[in-house]
Amino acid sequence: MGVAEDLADALARDTIEAAEALNDDNLIDQVAKQIGASSQTTQEAFLTAVRVRLAEKRARKFLEGRLNSALAASKRAKE
């Protein structure tokens, strides 16, 4: 990745963490607007990083749930 993408990804990671800690879903949009005022390219990289990270987080949660369900079913079957 280039410098802009690396910085945008790091900011995306920090912003997602802050949004979760503050329970503020609008924080990501607010940060994106601040970035966009100076650099549309960096804003696009930031929003892409946010979407990728949130999609990965949802997919991991789904996978964990499916795995836990399967393990619980297997455990019940053995009892």
Q: Which residues contact 24 (CB under 8 A, 6 or more apart)?
A: 18
Output the CA–CA distances (angstroms, integers) from residue 23 to 7, 28, 60, in the order listed: 23, 11, 20
Give the whole-angstrom CA distance, residue 73 versus residue 52.
Answer: 31
pTM of the full structure: 0.85
One-letter amino acid at 18 equals A
pLDDT in tens, 23-56: 999 999 999 999 999 999 999 999 999 999 999 9
C-beta of residue 46 within 8 angstroms of C-beta of residue 31: yes
One-letter amino acid at 57 equals K
- Would the pLDDT of 1 be above 80? no
**Which structural domain range is residue 67 located in?**
3-78
Q: Give the count of beta carbons closer than 10 Å to the beta carbon of residue 78.
A: 6
Give the number of domains in the chain: 1
